[in-house]
Structures are given as structure tokens and as C-alpha cells.
Amino acid sequence: MTDPRSSDTFKSGDLLNNTYRIEKLLGRGGTSDVYRARSEISGRLVAIKVLQTELSKNESYLRLMTREEAIRDVRHDAVVRYSENQRTAEGLVYLVMDYVDGVGLEEKLMTGGMSADDLIKIAARVLQGLVAAHAKNIVHRDLSPDNIILRNGRPEEAVIIDFGIAKDENPGAETVVGNEFAGKYAYAAPEQLNGKSDTRSDIYSLGALLLSTFRGEPPDVGENPMQLLRLKQAPLNVDGVPEPLKALITKMTAPVPEDRFQSAEDVLRAIDPSYVANHVVQTESPGRRTTPPAAAKSPKKGRGGLFGLLALAAVVVLGLGGYVSGAFQSLLAPDLPSISPFTFEAARKDGVETAKGFAPDEAALTALQARFGEGAVTQAQGTVAPTWGADVLALLDQVSTLPEWSLSVSDDSATLTGLAPDRATRDAVQAAIAGGALTTSVALDLAPRILPLEPALAVLRAHEDCGPLSFGKKPEGNWALGDQIVIRGRLAEQGSRVRVFEAMKEVAGDRDVLIDVEILNQNLCKIEQALPRAEPHGFGVIFGFGDRPDPNPAGRYFVGENPAIDVVIPADVTSGFLWVSIVDVTGSVFHLLPNLNRPDNTVEGLRAGQSGDVVVRVAFGVEEAKGTTKMAFMVDDSVLGKSKVVVLHADSPVFESLRPISESTGSFAAALASEETGDEMAEVFSIDSRILTTEAK
């Protein structure tokens, strides 16, 4: 229990909205405090998360609480249940959630750690919660020991208790705290330090916290930003961890996301190969209709008594007349074979149709042989519906518009798979197949089976409004069905993100499309559009403070703070020229290197004889800069939002002369454009960048 203070928002015994009686303070955070309370109506224990008084009218923080409340859609015993936001008469906003009674994993870590067996149980439980969250496209981004409670002290009842900075990956959605770094440095995945995260980031964080809890000590994050970056790029030290926990953590925490387990289900299957995601309810997915199997048929009973004898007599008389006339001569031939199950298969592939199996009557036999050739189908007896032949022929007519398909019929059940050229055709085929006596299961994929790079690239080029867009995982040739298309880059607004998603889905067919982009303001986008196309080379941009040695990996500064900016020249870059500029939210560009006060921007000069990675400071502390030509900044409330630090590396000077220390984005963009169209433009080897965000306190 946290000791109470006179400044606490609520006191023990306070009654909120005539419902929740405060019992005690559980903990304090940077923006909110958490209390245990009990419903006066139901007696249920709840946790109350209340925004600090000064933030209860701040729209940004209210939006955070609303977004966190929305995560109540994630339903799993391993995820704390959220209820709703409420406001007191005094205007304080609080969020109600389930109270989880148990010991925190952080307490276990700080008191000596836990056994490997118990940690594997915790991993399995937390992973099941992540499966439920990730199924809703929610990425936690802040998994750490203090966010996991062992209900009743039991590892198999672990609960994730905080989704306060979770990220919604749905197209058009916003993150709770922005797209940049979120989470704790110690447990964050390497990509989070660069403002990137996806479901694999949660897998890394879970692996890191398992390792720390086993050892009983927090991870090493180094003593400065450079050490932090290097530690995050290296595999975690799992020496002394017993198998199978060791192998599990090793793959969960691979520094490169593609080398990790790719989903929470994958990790669960590594723990238990028989794992099945039992939270998933089989539903009807777009373009796939599954009809329940037909009810079993009851044997038909004949009619007895006088009517049966009269019917038999009629058959005998009719048969005799037929024999005399020769009309039923065929009845004297051998009986047709009886087939069970009664099967028929047909397919179209590469433009060629084939079939094999049986037909129950001459009409169906004649029609099928006319389509597939004589000998493909033979006549036989079977326990099938009287309309079997007509229903199969109707199915074949419906699939004639599909480029490829496969039909398998067994008795009165049919399975149709294939490829539809477009959604309209797929919908039409599925609607037409709904009738008939056959029970038909339909699973049509949406074309193309192989998606070439060119039409996908055309979509990117048509929607670039803030610099170039690219594919996160470029295919060696083309995308196959089932591949995921990841789009990365920058866009000017959230609406652009949705438009890119919708346009790509039009050409992608049945492929997942993930829009992993950064939303920038118009001034930053103007520069992005003007910059030459070049890939990053790994020039690091490190944020810190001019008045203290603390790192600032998130790059977030408040009014009154003094940003310090360092650029890291990679060890393999030993020649050429460097340009470092910052484009702020107001439309101003500040040239940190080179400028009139600091004209030498040669890599050789900046290295000053040093080898390996070299750190070059380009924005200094205010006190250090006084009386010198060094550049320094203070954050004031006139420049709030996203600014961008851009690092260009080229083989020769990009501009004919030094740019002024500051200029507008318009003039800088025009200068870049004129250089780009010139006859002797410098070859830009690489462009690296990072976002710096300024906010009011």
C-alpha cells in the first residue's frame, strides 16, 4: 500500500458518484493515481484510475482515458477488465476497472526472482491475453513486471493490469500516446526506441521481463544513450537460464523483429505444440460461406396393406406391356453398380477443365460428358437427392466465371474452393450457390494468386503526400496469397492513411495490409517531398538535455527544457559531407551543420582522427553555448508539436554555398528542388531522420 499524502486526489472513505467508496491508495503515476474502491451497490471491489486534477480538463489526456476505456473490448481472464469513464461533480475524470488481488511480478523480481517452471506458466497465461488483445489489433507497448499481477499469487492466474499506452493498429486509428517511443527502456523492444512497434514488440518485452524475473534483477540499460542503443542491438545474455526457458527467451527477444516469434500463438505453440487458440470463435469471414452439414436422412418406409399390393400389381402389368412392346428392354441389362459414398470431382487449372466420378442418371451423364469428354464420368447408383444431377450442373455453371476452381461432391455434400477475379464475382457466385439440395461449403480466395510489385508500387506513388512510401518487407519477386503487405513511410494526415489502405486492398486481394506510417504536419511534409530519394544508412540521432546528462530516447520535450542533439557517424562512413537540419512545426528550418558559424561539414573533419562510431554534438546546452558560435534551443509555447531532424550524407557539397542559419521550409524545399534538377547534383548517399516533439507541461 502507498502511504497517503494530504495532496492526494481522494481520501479513504470518499464516495464517488454515490457508488464507489474509496478504501486505499494503490499507487501514483506521472499523470494519474490508482485507488482501491468498493461498489456500495454490489459490494464488488474495483480499481479507480483518476487523472490528476490539473489534467482533467486537458483534451489530450481525456482522449487517453477514453482510448484506454475502449480496450474493454478485449475479453480474456489474463487481461484486466475495463468498465467505463466517469466524472465527479468537481470535474475529476476517473476510469473504473476490475481490482486484481494478488502479488505483483515486480515484487517477485525484487525479492529474488522466480523459478523457470513458474515463469513458463506465467508466459503461457500472459501470451493468451496477448492473443486476445492482438486479435483486436491492440499492441500493449509497455509490458513490464509492474504491469503483471499474479491473482491469488498463482503463476497460472497472471493478469495484465495496464493498457494505458496501448497502440491500436487498425487503419486510421491513433495511438494513445503517439507513434514515437512508448514503454520502459529496460523492457522495450529495440524498434520502440525509433518510434516503431507491432505485436512482435510485445513478444520481446515479455521475453525480457521473464529473463529479469528469473535473475531477480532489472535489465542493464547502460549509463548513457550510446550504451542503451548498443545494448538494445545485441541479443540478451541468457547464460545460466535452464531449458526450455532459455530457448524461449532467446527467440522472443531477438533484436531484429523478423527473427522473433511472429505471433503470440507461435510462442504458445512452442511451449505446448498441442495449443489451439480456444478463445477464437469460428465466424464467417468475408468471401467465405460455410453451410452446416445436411441432416442425416431417415430411410424411406414403404407402404403396406392393400395399397402396396395394388401398386405391385400395377407394376407387373405395366412391366409386361413394356416387355411386349420392347420399351423396357434395357431392364434386362445388368444392374448399375452401387457407389457409396457417391462421388464426383471437377476442377479448372491453367485453363484446362477435368472431371472424374459418377452420375446418377442418363441426363446428368450426358451433360457432364458433353462438358468434360466421354469416359470422364460413368453412371452408377447412389443414395443421393433426386435433384443431384441438376444441382451439380448448376454449380458448374456458376463457377464458369472463375479463373480456377475445384469442386468435390460426396453424396449430397459439396466443397467448392477456387479463386475469384474480384469481389463482385465472388459475391455473385456465393449468392447463387445458396439454393439447391446439395449442402455446399464455399471458400473462394480473392485474386490475384500472385501479386506483382508494379501495381502495388503504383498505389504507393499515387498516394505519396509526405515523401516516399515503401514496403516494409520487399518481396524478392511477388506477393503470394497469405503474404502480408506492410507499408511504411510518412503521410500528411490520418485520412491519407485510410485512403492508402483502401486503395491497396483493391489490388491486394486476400492479403493483409498493414499501414505502419508516421503522420507529419504540412511543413514537415513539404521538406519530405523535396528531399532526394535515398535510403537511411544508420546515422544515429540522439536526444538529451543541455543542462543535465539524462538521455531522452523518446525525443519529447516540455516548455522550458533545453534539448541537446548528437549525431552518430557510423564506423563505416569515413568520407563525404554531412548536412544536419531541424525543420520545426512553424515552418522554419534551422541548419545545425554546416552553417555560417560552423562551416566544416566534411566527415573527415568531424571525425578529427577518430575511428569507429563518432558522436558529433550539433545542438548544445544554453549555458555551454553562451559567448560562442554554438547553437542552442529552449522550448517555448510558441513552437509545440512535431519537428524533424534530418541528416544527409553526400559525396560532395549539396548546395553551391552555405545556407543561412535559418530559413523557411518553402525556400529550403525550393533550393532542394533546384539542386535536384541541376546538371551536377551531388549524389546523396543516405538520409536519416528522427522526430522531436515539444509539448506544454
> Which tens digits make up the pLDDT trace of 491-510?
988 889 889 999 998 898 88
pLDDT for 689 equals 87
Statement: residue 343 has pLDDT above 80:
yes
The DSSP element (H or E) to which 353 belongs, if any, is: strand 352-359
519, 490 Cβ separation under 8 angstroms: yes
Statement: residue 16 has pLDDT above 70:
yes
Q: Which fold has domain 525-695?
A: Immunoglobulin-like (2.60.40)
Q: Across-strand partners of 488?
A: 470, 516
Class of domain 15-98: alpha beta
Could you tell me whether strands 167-168 and 158-160 are parallel, antiparallel, or unpaired per DSSP bridges? unpaired
Q: What does the pLDDT average to over 226-250?
A: 89
Statement: residue 424 has pLDDT above 50:
yes
More confident residue, 158 or 138: 158
pLDDT for 83 equals 80
Q: Determine the 3-state secondary structure of 677 from DSSP.
A: helix
How many Cβ atoms sit within 10 Å of the Cβ of residue 88?
Answer: 15
Confidence of residue 304 (pLDDT cuts 50, 70, 90): very low
Q: What does the pLDDT average to over 433-437?
A: 68
Confidence of residue 649 (pLDDT cuts 50, 70, 90): very high
Q: Determine the 3-state secondary structure of 126 from DSSP.
A: helix
List pLDDT tens digits, range 590-626. Answer: 999 998 889 999 999 999 999 999 999 999 999 999 9
Say how far apart CA 347 and CA 353 lie, in whole Å. 6
Length of the chain counted residue by residue = 697
Say how far apart CA 201 and CA 204 lie, in whole Å. 5
Q: Across-strand partners of 515?
A: 487
- Please enumerate in sequence order all residues whose Cβ is within 8 A of that of 240, keeping only pairs 6 or more positions apart, or say none: none
Say how far apart CA 148 and CA 104 lie, in whole Å. 6
Statement: residue 285 has pLDDT above 80:
no
| CATH code 1.10.510.10 for 105-271 | yes
What's the pTM? 0.43
Say how far apart CA 225 and CA 572 lie, in whole Å. 20
Q: Across-strand partners of 143?
A: none
Statement: residue 376 has pLDDT above 60:
yes
List pLDDT tens digits, range 537-583. Answer: 999 999 999 999 999 999 999 999 999 999 999 999 999 999 999 99
Say how far apart CA 225 and CA 628 lie, in whole Å. 26
pLDDT for 681 equals 52
Q: Which CATH architecture has domain 350-441?
A: 3-Layer(aba) Sandwich (3.40)
More confident residue, 543 or 30: 543
Burial class of 427 by CB neighbour count within 10 A (0 to 12, 13 to 18, 19+): middle
Nearest Cα neighbor of 148 from 129, 135, 134 is 129
More confident residue, 7 or 639: 639
Q: What does the pLDDT average to over 462-488?
A: 84
Most confident stretch, 171-185, 233-247, 413-427: 233-247
Confidence of residue 253 (pLDDT cuts 50, 70, 90): very high
Q: What percent of the chain has pLDDT over 70?
A: 82
Domain map (residue ranges) of the chain:
15-98, 105-271, 350-441, 450-519, 525-695
